[in-house]
Amino acid sequence: MDLHEQGMSSRTFVIAAIVCVLLQAGLAPQISIAGGRVNFMIILVCLSVFSGDPTRAVVCGFCSGLFYDLSAAVPVGVMSLLLTVGSFALVHSAAGQTGGTPSARGITVGAFAFVVNVIYSIILLFMGLETSFVVAIFGHALPSSILTGLVAIPFLMSGVVPQSGYGFSARGGRQTGMRFKPKTRKLK
């Protein structure tokens, strides 16, 4: 029963990943509000973080970032690095582990997107691809983060991620404090 539910979760996640990739390629270039654009790859990374395995979150972070880099006219490797490190940090943080309502998680996604976008802007500034710190942060990073957080809410409500958290843990590890372990080992 446990294994069956895990399989369903993986399948749902794969579907969500495909949807996010298609939306990033097809819809993100068409929507721009106040200088911001939705980053569906950040949403995908957050879905992977909320749904479980740290290793999967990191792998998903790298792949999502790489797809973002390759599908836009931006330096390849920057977003993949940020989302790899970001997913690792988020999956081990309290915000990435505690449960909550979709709107609360939407705020988490928005905050995560803001941190990623701000660091991304700073890297672009250092690379000479951006010239104004104010415009980069308040003209691009902030509206993009708000948009991303808002668009993430329907994804979070769609059942891709568990609606309840794994419970509190003083040690902060994903595997600790869980009532049901994702994998069990039979004693021989």
Q: Does 137 bind another protein (CB under 8 A)?
A: no
Minimum distance of another protein from residue 182's CB (angstroms): 10
Within the chain, where are the H helices?
A: 2-26, 40-51, 54-71, 78-91, 94-97, 102-126, 133-134, 142-157
**Distance of alpha carbon 179 from alpha carbon 157, whole angstroms:** 23
DSSP 101-149: -HHHHHHHHHHHHHHHHHHHHHHHHHTTS---HHIIIIIIIHHHHHHHH
Stretch binding another protein (CB under 8 A), from 95-103, 106-114, 159-167, 175-183: 175-183
**SS3 of residue 174 by DSSP:** coil
Residue type, 151: V
Written as six digits, the tokens of 115 are 């941190």
Angle separating helix axes 2-26 and 54-71, nearest 10 degrees:
20
Which of 6, 9, 72, 103 binds another protein (CB under 8 A)? It is 72
Q: Does 26 bind another protein (CB under 8 A)?
A: yes
Q: Does 101 bind another protein (CB under 8 A)?
A: no
Stretch binding another protein (CB under 8 A), from 6-14, 107-115, 157-165, 179-187: 179-187
Segment 75 to 94, residues that bind another protein, using CB under 8 A? 75-78, 80-81, 84-85, 88, 91-92
Residues that bind another protein (CB under 8 A): 22, 24-32, 35-37, 39, 53-55, 57-59, 61-62, 65-78, 80-81, 84-85, 88, 91-92, 117, 120-121, 124, 129-132, 135-136, 139-141, 143-144, 173-176, 183, 185, 187-188
